[in-house]
Structure 1
Amino acid sequence: MRLLAHNMFSCNIKGVMNGFPLRLEVEKFVEKEVDFSVEFLRNIFPKIEWKALVNAARSMGYSQLPDAADSSMLNSDDFLKKFHHALLELDLEEGVLICLETDRHFLVNKGIPRSLH
């Protein structure tokens, strides 16, 4: 599961007021090379919850993203490469997504989150 997908998931259990972001507990992740597209990164940037991406990347041991980011940074090749790597190339293979509100655990097995119980 790429961090792009993680950034879009939330806990949808009945009664949950704020099921985003889900905390990651990483057992295994892999890095998969993905074609680099500046256009894609610039288009997806406004849709990304930055703090959630930074925390998820750090849970995988990747600490190259700045704590905060704004659209002016999209002109930096260095920033774009780091953003691309975190968003698209870090892939959670095995682990758990945890709802911070309910402490509900959703297993990730072979890169697929199991959100139904």
Structure 2
Amino acid sequence: MLLSRILNMRLITHNMLTSHVKGVTNGYPLIIEATEVEEKEVDFNPEFISRMMSRIEWPALVKAMEWIGKKDCLPEEPIENCEKDNDFLQKAHHALMEIEVITGSLKCPESGRKFPISNGIPNMLLNEDEV
């Protein structure tokens, strides 16, 4: 169960994925084309979210929320001292940890190559000619 939760296509996962197709120089962020999205409650851990804030590409997260129809849930930019603002951390937690793409695809912004998402798991494997 824990392993499947780690592999599932949450937006924290999306924020760290990029296209590695041969010849692609701009494979980030992958465009989310979701056909099924679920919100699943996850225990709020403000310390974890606070530590993750320096690793999150905020514009990519905001764009991901837009692609799944939830753009209004996050501010365009992190607030000052966001690591200490519990309200902000809860919004970031919801976006990063509780929204999960169940089915759809991730599309490379440069090549258009689509990586399928099935049962919440993105398949980022490349074909032989793409390596």
Place the TM-score, normalised by the shorter chain, in its bin. Answer: over 0.9
In structure 2, what is the equivalent of residue 57 of structure 1?
Answer: 65
Q: Offset at 1:25?
A: 0.8
In structure 1, what is the equivalent of residue 39 of structure 2?
Answer: 31
What TM-score, normalized to structure 2?
0.84
| Amino acid across the alignment from 1:86 | A
In structure 2, what is the equivalent of residue 77 of structure 1?
Answer: 86
Q: CA RMSD in A?
A: 1.2
Q: Percent identity?
A: 44
Asked if the contact 2:50/2:84 (under 8 Å) is kept, the reply is no
| Amino acid across the alignment from 2:89 | L
Rounded Cα–Cα distance in structure 2 between residues aligned with 1:29 and 1:22: 16
1:7 matched to 2:7? The reply is no
Moved beyond 4 Å, runs of 4+:
none
What TM-score, normalized to structure 1?
0.94
| Amino acid across the alignment from 2:45 | S
Structure 2: 5+ residue runs without aligned partners?
1-8
Q: Offset at 1:113?
A: 0.7
Structure 1: 5+ residue runs without aligned partners?
none
For 1:42-53, list aligned pairs within 5 A.
42-53=50-61
| Amino acid across the alignment from 1:19 | G
Asked if the contact 2:51/2:83 (under 8 Å) is kept, the reply is no
